[in-house]
Amino acid sequence: MTDPRLISINDYTYSLPEERIASFPLTERDASKLLICKEGNIAEDTYRNIASHVPDNSLLVFNNTKVMEARLLFTKETGGVIEIFCLEPHEQYPDVTTAMLQKEKVWWHCLVGGASKWKQGQLLNKKVIINGITETLQAKYIEKRSGSFIIELLWSQPELSFAEILHYAGAIPLPPYIKRAAVESDAERYQTVYAHYDGSVAAPTAGLHFTEKTFSDFRSRNILTDFITLHVGAGTFKPVKSETIKEHEMHAEWIDVSKPTIENILSCLNKKIIAVGTTSLRTLESLYWLGTKKSVAGSQEHEESNERIPQLFQWEAYELAKKEIPVTEALQSLLLWMIKHQLDRIVTKTQILIAPGYEFKIANGLITNFHQPQSTLLLLVAALIGDKWKEVYQYAIENDFRFLSYGDGSLLWKAND
């Protein structure tokens, strides 16, 4: 595996006209255009027919994270507005789900608009009507960190979880390149139809095109489906500002994968495994490297004081590649570790950066939208299909495809697969 640290981000750019960025979704989810790139050939269709482009008995892996209403607006007594954007839980919580289920108070890493007008320790109040009862949501500025603020959020109704509080008090956070305020329809359309676990601040947008009919079509062709969870962080929009990738710090995101899903992936290694979205792909590949770490540790592994698996760091895949652990062995090692600790799920963070030079271990294909120039998501696409990415994106520009979160998408097969 070639180390991509010396890649110049200037080699991964293209001209994206403003009018190509979709501000709203199409009326029908599966009416979006679908570009198919297979064996070097480019074709197009719509998502309505995607099942016909996936081999029978394949496995599609979806990300069932749910976008939380992460934007909170508080008005000060002076009339000034403070905007709090909830990024991720404070490190005192073992995972996102635990934090979302907190009652009466919670600590959160946040971005704060108007922070200079908010004194440390000062309480802000927001009135919210919940089930006919007026609730006061309070926000307390705890401390400033590098890149975020620690905010304590408090409420009085003890039966309400933080997820429920956000649902009533917050707003869906649209991506920064969608130059409009969120409207009522975004609450539905900026979620996949299978969204389940609260925790993301951005949608796994490849999944926005799928409908109940799509899943019915998959079943009729014996195409298997399964679900992982990766909670998408705001770092997904973080531009690469350094000249080479070596200086770019990849964002870490929470993943949650069940034991039956890992077993399902293991049983399908002789079939085509397709990640629906870059988040699903990063999770699938992370499972291999987490398993590789366990396989390498083997019998020398010390008894751990807790049952949480260590996170996967940005460059670990490229360092672990020298071990050449077979995929089957890696996944089996992961499962054995889970059995040993009586775990039903793997819950940890992944910081994996997939760029040209990366060798895919599990995924054969990727369903994804079109991504921004000079982004880590575009690097991931280029890692999968090689220099063909330039032709794919040029085709999409010239043939009126819509770009980014609410845009059209593609089915990309791994080069030489």
- Would you state the pLDDT for residue 78? 81
Question: CA 313, 318, 322, 327 torsion: positive or negative?
Answer: positive
Report the distance separating Cα 143 and Cα 120, nearest Å: 7
- Would you state the pLDDT for residue 80? 85
Contact 412, 395 (CB under 8 A): no
Secondary structure of residue 295 in the 3-state scheme: helix
- Would you state the pLDDT for residue 305? 44
Place of tokens 């979160």: 405
- Please report, for the chain, the start and end positions of each structural domain, with discontinuous segments joined by +: 4-66+192-413, 70-170
**pLDDT tens sequence for the chain (417 residues):** 888 999 999 999 999 999 999 999 999 999 999 999 999 999 999 999 999 999 999 999 999 999 999 999 998 888 889 999 999 999 999 999 999 999 999 999 999 998 888 988 889 999 999 988 899 999 999 999 988 999 999 999 999 999 999 999 999 999 999 999 999 999 999 999 999 999 999 999 999 999 999 999 999 999 999 999 999 998 888 889 999 999 999 999 999 999 999 999 999 999 999 999 999 999 999 999 999 999 998 745 554 445 568 899 999 999 999 999 999 999 999 999 999 999 999 999 999 999 999 999 999 999 999 999 999 999 999 999 999 999 999 999 999 999 999 999 999 999 887
Pairing of strands 409-413, 65-67: unpaired
Q: What's the token pair of residue 38?
A: 């297979």
Q: What is the CATH number of domain 4-66+192-413?
A: 3.40.1780.10
Residues facing residue 404 across a β-bridge? none
The whole-model pTM stands at: 0.95
Report the distance separating Cα 294 and Cα 29, nearest Å: 41
